[in-house]
Structure 1
Amino acid sequence: MKKPVLWALFLAGITSQSLAQDPNAEKYAGNINAKITKKHLSILASDKFEGRETGKRGAEMAAAYIAREFKKLKLIAPVNGSYLQQVSLIETSMLVHSFELNKNVLSSGKDFQFSGSGEARTIQANELLFIAKETESELKENDISGKVVLIIQYGQADEIAKRLSFLKRKKPALILAVNTEKNNSNHSHNSGVSLSVKNGSRESFPLKVYSPPVVQINPEIANLILKNSGSTFEKLAANNAQMLIKAELKLSYGPVQREVLSSNVLGYLEGTDLKDELLVYSAHYDHIGMNSDGGKDKVFNGADDDGSGTSGVLAIAKAFAKAKKEGNGPRRSILFLMFTGEEKNLLGSEYYSLNPVFPMANTITNLNIDMIGRTDFIYRNTPDSTNYLYLVGTDKLSIDLHRISDHANAVYTKLKLDYRHNAKDDPTQIYFWSDHYNFAKNGVPVIFYYNGKHEDYHKGSDEVRKINFNLLSKRAQLAYYTGWDLVNRDKRPVVDVKNNMPATR
């Protein structure tokens, strides 16, 4: 019996030693606190910044704020003496040349909202198919290919998007969607304007890929369609009917493109003996802008998405900058990288991956923070509601990185780490949907820090007052401690897992 006891004591000794805390790491972690993260977030997610939409004034204000904070920390401006990496984008919008319903000429923006993609088209019809909500299942057997369909929009944003997606797969010529809620902020940010990186992999995507157009109208316009049918929109909706309606429709539209400039914001902290190797902390500072429907809450503040991650990275930058000032700087260099255009399809990170300021081959890891200030639906009423975090990507390219991350949590933050979104069969497939994707596809190990979706996701109600700043700061501290280990250890994380990341999503 002595041998097992001695072996247990030996293992306990190793465990105790391996869980020893680094006093220098702990010394500077206090800079990542509720006071500093609240200060940053209260500015970035204020109405003044107008929802930080890429290419708009609010986003440029946010970029300028972050650059000023990097300068205060005395981080190096690595883009030819600037903190801003200019990102060249192509904006594609669909211009409606004319839209007539029963001889009535309608005005875009006033009478309807249009979204679509593809090349210029003209759609003409003399009948429409009205589909009530109870009869959607019948479409599985019906052929609506090439037809104009009229539907009622109802339910939450996810339900609306799901139904439209289903209908588009049936390949109608046009979807007329009646919106009965005049101030529906759930989907008002979907303007039909798309952005892509100039000379990027998806620049011509809006032109080459056709999707059936959707025209959003109100009940008054719906009644213009029905004026010769002997019925009204209200009667059809009440009767849950599915019927053919005689109406004359002509729609002509086509794409218009222009160049738009935005900026990634970069702050560089140089290392010592291993300074040619680089750790990247990232978050996206953009959000989805203003509520164009004129609702009471006019700004999509994006406090959690991703003001929380941006504020967390700014606090982490302060901790490392102070450590260096006091002679405890990192061995490897650190790039604090705030992306534009994440909400527009990861544009800022795509641009950086195509135009890296520092070689991707020298980038040891990307720690990407996107939403860390709230509690999601899953954890809301559990004992771990204020002590959990989803980690994604930790072992996708490097088992070594996964161990480093788990060790940092075991020693310092002791959060409940949830890996459900890291699973291959995770229905959200979120591994592909934040800025770390553009590092992972280039073979750089990544960790994505994420709190999950909540009821305010992509709504005007994602506001600063709902953020748990103590939880935000604790989650950011995990990224900090993980990074402290990564930049000071002798060897970079070993890439020991085959990269199965697709080149495009």
Structure 2
Amino acid sequence: MRKTLLCSAALVAALGACAQKNTTAVKYAQYITVADAKKHLSIIASDAFEGRETGKPGADKAAAYLAGEFKKMGLQAPVNESYFLDIPLTNTAFTLKSVTLNGTTLTYGKDYTSMGGTGTQTVKASEVVFVGYGTEAELANVDLAGKVALVIAEPKPGTTVDNSNPRAAMMAFTRLVQGIRAKNAALVLAVGTVTQGSMAGKQSERITLKQANPRPITPRPLALTVTSAVADQLLKASGKTYEQLKASPAVQTVKADVTADYETVVKDAKAVDVLGFLPGSDAKLKEEVLVFSAHYDHIGMEPEDTPGDRINNGADDDGSGTTGILEIARAFTQAKKDGKGPRRSILFLGNVGEEKGLLGSEYYSEHPVFPLANTITDLNIDMIGRRDPAHEKTPDYCYLIGSDKLSTTLHKISENANNTYTKLAVDYKYNDPKDPERIYYRSDHYNFAKHNVPIVFYFDGVHADYHRVSDEVDKIDFPLLVKRAQLVFYTGWDLANRDERPVVDVKNDMPANRN
């Protein structure tokens, strides 16, 4: 009993100590301000940066701005005296040059859209194979090798399909096209609405990390969605309309002249992560590194023929997080100038390519400037400037993800920082492994966590302006952005100055990939 009483007394004393504010930390947290945050974000999310798409001039401008701010603050340039870590990329660009049916050139977006293809080819055919609804039975005994296939892109009568779920409908459409591609068709024409398959476009680019031994591109047949009016034009020589053929969808071959011209060009590309380094003050602990990360890239611009605003400014995603690390860097560098600098070293990491598949952070985790064995934690900020619909009545909140996935110590540090200083309503909804959004796998912290580096991910949730041109600076709640950034700062202050680093004491049971 006495032993239990002593432990309880010690626990109470420890909790009491945790509840006491560190006045030095409080002083420097005040350097994270609404005015300064607004100044940075108004530049980062301006039209001049053109949506900050990886591999485009706008992202280069954002990188230069970050590096310039790091230099002003006195952060060291740790990549051979540069703030830039080159991220070698491969750009695979697809261009659909033209499509003609019976001598008439079709108009993209009006007559057809594209699911894309790979390789470079000009398809010419004088006949089309109609395969009905493209069911397994309809495709079983038909030879489509090198031919043009015409298919009805809607559920076969009697088939149960949840049309209220756009994702399910798109997956069903994709499976339909894949089934025909598997028969080695040269071109797939799916009759449906022109919104189907529009994820590829007439021109599209895919950015990936450059591989030392890249696999050759496997040619993949072009697939288009065409309107029923185009199908009628295609069938003109047969004397039948599309509706007549649809009414009795037997597999058959019809005469029609079809030409499609497309190409795929693969070339090297480059972007940069931006690194600013603050050396620690403790002779021993300065070898250990705390990382604050945020991705500065976004999704760029809508196609040139898009009416109205074309620029996806990404004020919240992730201009807000990028602004957050600039503000946190300002607080820590000021403390350093005043002789109150952190005992451990700190890396401020602006990642590129997050929107393309976490590319910048993946490259850094595989080619770290500072050993991952010495990296004690990554505090990753991705969207901290808005509220989601679930929190309209509880505005002072933040989603925290991952704090308990690898380290019980880190989770306690995180909880204590909030309970002592910011007192936000912490929501762990997305920390649930069963949550369908799988947010834990969708930002740059993941590439640290998969190497057993403990992480905390700070997030404001998904709102109506996510990945839209309407994600603008005037919708940012700057006082809330500041409060969330201060939570990250206080958590980092503890991590950078405590005697012991967080212990990795939770088994890493993450899948080998995040898909």
TM-score grouping bracket, smaller chain normalisation: 0.7 to 0.9
Q: Does 1:168 align with 2:170?
A: no
Q: List aligned pairs for 1:440-459, cutoff 5 A.
A: 440-459=449-468
| Most deviating of 355-364 and 212-221 | 212-221
Question: Which of 270, 284, 298 is 1:287 aligned to?
Answer: 298
Question: Which of 107, 126, 148 is 2:128 aligned to?
Answer: 126
Partners of 2:458 and 2:202 in 1: CA distance: 26
Partners of 1:311 and 1:296 in 2: CA distance: 27
1:329-377 deviation line (CA, Å, top 9, x unaligned): 0011111100111111111111111221111111111111111111113
Quote the offset at 1:160 in angstroms: 4.9
Q: Give the secondary structure class of the aligned counterpart of 1:290.
A: coil
Aligned to 2:116: 116
Partners of 2:229 and 2:43 in 1: CA distance: 41
Partners of 1:43 and 1:220 in 2: CA distance: 47
Q: Does 1:256 align with 2:265?
A: yes
Runs of 5+ unmatched residues, structure 1: 132-138, 153-157
Aligned to 1:323: 335
| Letter of the structure 1 residue corresponding to residue 128 of structure 2 | N
Distance 1:188 1:195, change over 3 A: closer
Q: List aligned pairs for 1:48-59, cutoff 5 A.
A: 48-59=48-59
Quote the offset at 1:282 in angstroms: 0.6
Matched-pair contact (CA < 8 Å) for 2:383–2:458:
yes
Quote the offset at 1:112 in angstroms: 5.5
Partners of 1:89 and 1:345 in 2: CA distance: 12
Distance 1:4 1:121, change over 3 A: same
Matched-pair contact (CA < 8 Å) for 1:32–1:316:
yes
Q: Does 1:275 align with 2:286?
A: yes
Quote the offset at 1:10 in angstroms: 7.2
Partners of 1:444 and 1:267 in 2: CA distance: 19
Matched-pair contact (CA < 8 Å) for 1:279–1:364:
yes
Distance 1:80 1:219, change over 3 A: farther
Aligned to 1:415: 424
Partners of 1:429 and 1:143 in 2: CA distance: 37
| Letter of the structure 1 residue corresponding to residue 299 of structure 2 | I
Quote the offset at 1:224 in angstroms: 4.4
Q: Does 1:104 align with 2:104?
A: yes
Distance 1:159 1:489, change over 3 A: same
Question: Which of 390, 398, 410 is 1:378 aligned to?
Answer: 390
TM-score (norm 2): 0.82
Quote the offset at 1:430 in angstroms: 1.5
Quote the offset at 1:98 in angstroms: 6.0
Matched-pair contact (CA < 8 Å) for 1:115–1:192:
no
Percent sequence identity over matched residues?
A: 48
Q: List aligned pairs for 1:308-457, cutoff 5 A.
A: 308-380=320-392, 383-384=393-394, 386-457=395-466
Q: List aligned pairs for 1:57-96, cutoff 5 A.
A: 57-96=57-96
State the Cα RMSD in Å: 3.6
Quote the offset at 1:498 in angstroms: 1.5
Runs of 5+ unmatched residues, structure 2: 155-163, 182-187
Aligned to 2:157: none
Aligned to 1:196: 208
Quote the offset at 1:255 in angstroms: 3.2
| Most deviating of 219-228 and 27-36 | 219-228
Aligned to 1:300: 312
Distance 1:301 1:211, change over 3 A: farther
Distance 1:19 1:194, change over 3 A: same
Quote the offset at 1:215 in angstroms: 3.2
Matched-pair contact (CA < 8 Å) for 1:367–1:446:
yes
Matched-pair contact (CA < 8 Å) for 2:296–2:352:
yes
Quote the offset at 1:496 in angstroms: 0.8
Q: Does 1:472 align with 2:474?
A: no
Matched-pair contact (CA < 8 Å) for 1:117–1:207:
no
Partners of 2:86 and 2:175 in 1: CA distance: 37
Q: Give the secondary structure class of the aligned counterpart of 1:65.
A: helix
1:172-213 deviation line (CA, Å, top 9, x unaligned): 3336476668xx9x9698953111111279x64x935x8775
Quote the offset at 1:32 in angstroms: 1.5
Matched-pair contact (CA < 8 Å) for 2:50–2:313:
yes
Q: Does 1:207 align with 2:213?
A: no
Aligned length: 481
Q: Give the secondary structure class of the aligned counterpart of 1:460.
A: coil
Partners of 1:122 and 1:363 in 2: CA distance: 52
| Letter of the structure 1 residue corresponding to residue 291 of structure 2 | V
| Letter of the structure 2 residue corresponding to residue 339 of structure 1 | N
